[in-house]
Structure 1
Amino acid sequence: MAVSGRKAPQKFASSMSRGSGEDFEIFCQPCDRDDIRLPAFGFCVDCEEHLCESCFNHHKRAKPLRHHTLLDKHNMPQSLQVSSQPDPHALPGDLTKPCSTHKKEMIKFYCHSHNALLCSVCVTLKHQSTACHVDYIPDISGNIVNSKEYRKIIKEIDDMIGIFQDTAGDLKKMTEKSNASLTKVLAEIKKFRKEINQRLDAMENEVENAASSLKKGNDQRLKTAQATCEDVIKDLQESSDSIKQLNTSNKEDTLFMELKTAEQLIKENENKISQLTTHQDVKEYHFQPNLDISTLLENEKSLGTLTTKPLKPPVNVSVKIKSKQFSHQGEFTVRTSQDEEECWITGMILLTSDILIAADYANKSIKMININSCSIIDQLKLDTSPWDVTTVSNDKLAVTQPYQNEIQFVSLTSNRLKRKNTIKVEGKCYGIYCYKGQLIVVFNAPAKLQIIDLKGKVLKSVTKNTNREDIFSDPEYVTASSSSIYVSDSGKHAVIQLNWQGEVTGTYSVLGDAAGLAMLADGSFFLSNYVDGICNIQNISSDCTRGEVVLKDLKKPFAICWCETNKTLYISSITLDASVDNFVQVYKLS
């Protein structure tokens, strides 16, 4: 662990020169109180004092001091700490912010390598590696007031406040528009229901009118039949009465004629009875519901479907991308003596601001690279070619292996890569990104996106849009934010934006093949884009409505990686030219 420091302030010169003849810039403070001047051998973080070798060893043995945190002379602060006479410019008394991990400890150190504020316990447990550059905060905080860093951070905060204010305004406007559309939907539903009611009423009236007409016909026929029967009954009754009277009075000639007339009357009315009793127009009616309507009501669960389309925020707000200017900072090699082929770096991810993990497709390996020293720390050979890599935690990676249909987990311990467990997946997996403990993976055989937990359970699978059309053609890489998932698809020459429900919410088309993706803190993202005559890096807005070329005339850029801390972009290439493919290019945002 490298520790830088500064000279002791002049105000302590008199106290440092007393005691023995030899004058040490950093000396043992407990011995100095007894007028003994001995060189500092280490530092006690808890006592906040530099110690000579004897006092340092005593700290290790004495029971009350056994749990104090000690730093040796290589790691101790390089300026004298005198608690009784604080330096008003250093102000160690300001170090009163508790550590988020160790609640009883105060933050006193800063690790440049991990961009982390640390307490003494953090330093002891996790940041004593030679790869860590740790400083005592009072040693490096001088001249921070009104500094360039101060002005830069304040400007970035103001810019971010403006973005969020604009975003809040946009969301309010879009929500109001959404609510207005829902009010319109409710009115349309009522109108649709009214139209249905009117049509059903008309159909009911048709049936009622038909039934009334039939009933009227029945009543008319009945009235006619009843009149006929009454007339026949009257005629027959009169004939019967007459015959009976003639029979009583013994009028034989008249009775004979009346009987013959009655015979004729009976024959005539027999035909009338036959006509009345065999009439086919009198029927019993039953209702048979319309089967189409019955089936419709039985099967359909709603009057209709609510369809959606994304609302685009106004063009003049936070979706605007600030123009970005990059300068080339050089390159570093990714080739090792173990490599049998020229490198094809198809995936990159930053473990810390100075440690990069690269997936070398051609050499079937994962490489750990120290960016500061431009050295390859470790290389892990795999059974088949990896494509992409993502961090699952501080000490765990996930690597896609398309030709084995699996995801390989890799652990990181003491700057060493080690294979762990694997999970099988449903197809050839390529791009991968871990977001809040979930793996987002894209496949090209078949073309799809899946969200998978760390045990391999598929939480969501996305292949088609609401029109049952294929969303993807040849997806390669994926990244995500809290609201959206972005997939680069070289087959469709586009970046496809989806929400976490798997619905397409935006598309950004490019002329070439869409490849590597890298998310920025402002919600926009970088895309590497290549085709004959067009090889560039674009910065695309979070809603996929706008893009800007920030680097052009590159040599077929492929995988990309962005360091938010150092504002640095790392780019690999696949050109079949060893002088290009064996290196990663470094560009810094001005």
Structure 2
Amino acid sequence: MAESGSISSAKISSGDAVSGRKEEILCQPCSRQDLQTTADVFCPDCDEFQCNACSKAHTVYAFMKNHKLVNATEVKSKPTSVDMKGMDNCEQHSKFLKFFCEDEKQLCCSTCAIVDHRKCHSVVEVQKIAGKSRPARSQLQKILEDVKSKSERIVNHTDSSKEQLSKDIKATFVEIKKMRADMNKMFDDLEAYVTRETDLFQTEVTNKLSKKRSSNEKHIADATKSLEIVDTVLENGTPSQQFIIEETLKKQVNELCKYVENECQQLQVATVSFRFDERLKLPPLPISDYVPGKLTLNYTLPETKKSVAPVVPQFKLTKITSIDLKQTGDDVGEPLYIGLDFLPDGRLVVVDNQNEKCVIYNEKLQTVGSYQLSYAPQSIVAISEEEVAITRGYHKIDFLRVSKSNDITLNRTCEVTTQYASICLKDDRHFVVGTLDNTIHFRIVSMSGEEKDFSISFPDKKYSVGTSACTYIRNTEKMILTDSHEHTVYIYDVASNTKVVVKDGQIKEPRGVAVGPSDCILVCSKGTNSIVQISQTGLILSSIKLDMNYPYRICVSKDKSVLAVTNSSKVKKKLQLFKLTGCM
């Protein structure tokens, strides 16, 4: 790579301040011999400006005969190469990035294209799409310049903030030193006052307690003596003796019992406390008027940029609308919505396992679109504003386009090696899917069909259709798995390979699961006809009863403001929407 400094060494400016003079390009080989000779040609292979004499070397040496010389006056500046800092190399295979996968929006080398993107439909060469519809000044440059400008403003703000903070701290200690003498005297007087008053009170209370203790020690002795007599007579005495002792001690015992009971009712606890008043007044005022000060350490933001208060973990549901799910003319039976999810614009997409359909609802739960499938679907997830993915259970995942006008078309089908049921997004390029009849209970699948496992230890058991569901919490990398047979919810921490087991009387036959506000966990409890809210640490936050039997599947809108739930009852199947609002 040519150094930028060699360009300036090949040129000098004759008469820098004289108009009409042109910049002169010097021969670089001559310049190294302290000679100033005008360059006549430029050799791209040698990367040099040369005079005619020096350029004759190209006719002398065989290895230079193919060099193409150009007129020096036609070269405005010596060509320079760009150091890409390794960004044009594949991190995995250390090869040049020559291709771009338009399906997954990812650069790739030749190996990536063959190995990782062989199932993708559009992998093109970079040089064929580079520069197409690119503005002169790219959006990337604008963003970086904006980031730089704002970062510089932040740096300046931090410097001024630190300076102001130092000034404030120094001023605070100056004020403290001014008040220290008066404050010390105030607390010395206060200690003397409290000592005097508490000593008097302690003496008075001690005398009362001593008298009470002495009196009740006598009661203990009397009761013990009488008990010994009663025990002896009841064990060894005749019935006559037992009657006599009963009648003789009855009055005495009743009086003693009444006295002791009265004492118990009047037990008192002596306490001492001291609380400062709300305002501080310094000496020479009376001690009763002394008041402490207050130190406040606080961050503040401009009024227009105040931070949003944290969302309260618990919430309440307010029903928006509800519909009964009934068999229509072309259905083979009553609908069974086995999967549902919200599109970013608020429309609800569902898959009907019974009638092999994909249906779209608007915010009023009015049917606005439908698509007939050729198989019984298992679950559905919204990938983007106009695309959804459906698990088929038979080693395939379908990708469907859902247009703004509610038309549904099949984009592509991705083949996989495992049977999958529930599905959710892990990130922009991968799913988390729940398995069927497999001891690995959930896996990661890329949108091109590549499969891999989490580093998690699973119990040796398998789940059949409808007996479990899973979801993923992106922010904390936690996997949630329901087990309807064990009445259990498992919370797996992917990072630490640990799990929390949640068992509670409020959770019976858990089915569908979703991530709610503040990343809480929402579970359909079929056996209690309710939605149970669980924290990520396994704490039961609330249980909300529903007016439907056997809640089965649940999902939450992208902005966490609306919840949809459906059931699996053989009669009165429903689909309901609720407004999610926080509460204490």
TM-score, structure 2 length as denominator? 0.43
Q: Decide which structure has the larger Cα Rg and report it.
A: 1
TM-score, structure 1 length as denominator? 0.42
